[in-house]
Amino acid sequence: MSQIFNALSRALRDLFKFKVFWIMVWPMLAASILWLLLGILFWSTFSEWIAMGLTGVGVQNWLENLEPEWIAAGIQSIIHWILFIPLVMITSLIITAVFAMPALVNLVASSYYPGLERERGGSISGSLVNVLIAVSIFSLIWFVTLPLWVLGLGVIVPFVAAAYLNQQLFRYDALSEHANREEIKALLVSDRLSLWSLGLLTGMVQFIPVLNLFAPVFAALAFIHFELACLKNIRSFSGVKINS
């Protein structure tokens, strides 16, 4: 656990670096603009989908019979925004994983692990496949666990989903530049429990207002710190020379 908390504390410290600020801002900004445009262009379609979902859980009929009408309209608008914010967060996480990770990896590596040799065992195609798997299984988690909301256990779903998404999105790209293929496979298998724990802890930040604005980059930095520290350790134990 100490390695996890070291990664979190270093990630928190790095958030205040000037170089990180723009990397932190633009994925969130891009995701917000994207979903705002989609919301404007496809508002009626999204509204129909939301109405279908509310009908499925028995809420839509209640809203239609609610008086006065402006209260029902207000509740529906709130539901739209409740859905909008997670979509922005998820999209921002994906943008950070795909486009911002190289800059963040270079920043962390140059500051903390300048002697760690770059084996470049990952690839762009591997990163894209990893993102597709992450988004697909993340969506499947939500779909499969829908009955839990009816049973009153749905509160655990967002945390499990966030933990999965974070660890799946960032663990590969954190290592792809420095580790070789064998090291990537070994670390992803041996550190599975720690990666899930780190995914859960960084995922919880996404549910805290204001702090969730920093969540994508904070999660990325935490995984980079954790994985590069683990990589440095296994190379030290295996006798691989690390340049000073």
Q: For residue 243, what pLDDT is reported?
A: 47
Between the alpha carbon of residue 26 and those of residues 29, 34, 40, 163, 223, the distances in Å are 5, 12, 21, 23, 20
Q: For residue 217, what pLDDT is reported?
A: 93
Q: For residue 101, what pLDDT is reported?
A: 92
How far apart are alpha carbons 160 and 201 in whole angstroms?
11
Q: Which residue has the tokens 């903390």?
A: 112
Q: Which helix (DSSP H) or strand (DSSP E) does residue 146 occupy?
A: helix 146-150
Q: How many residues does the chain have?
A: 244
Between the alpha carbon of residue 206 and those of residues 56, 123, 146, 176, 185, the distances in Å are 27, 28, 21, 25, 28
How far apart are alpha carbons 75 and 63 in whole angstroms?
8
CA 57 remoteness from chain centre: 28
Q: For residue 36, what pLDDT is reported?
A: 84
pLDDT tens digits, the chain, 244 residues: what are they?
789 999 999 999 999 888 898 888 889 899 889 988 887 787 777 767 666 665 655 555 655 565 666 565 666 666 666 677 778 888 888 899 889 999 999 999 999 999 899 998 988 888 889 988 998 898 888 777 766 766 666 778 889 999 999 999 999 999 999 999 999 999 999 889 999 999 999 999 988 888 888 999 999 999 999 999 999 999 988 655 444 4
Q: For residue 73, what pLDDT is reported?
A: 61
Q: For residue 180, what pLDDT is reported?
A: 94
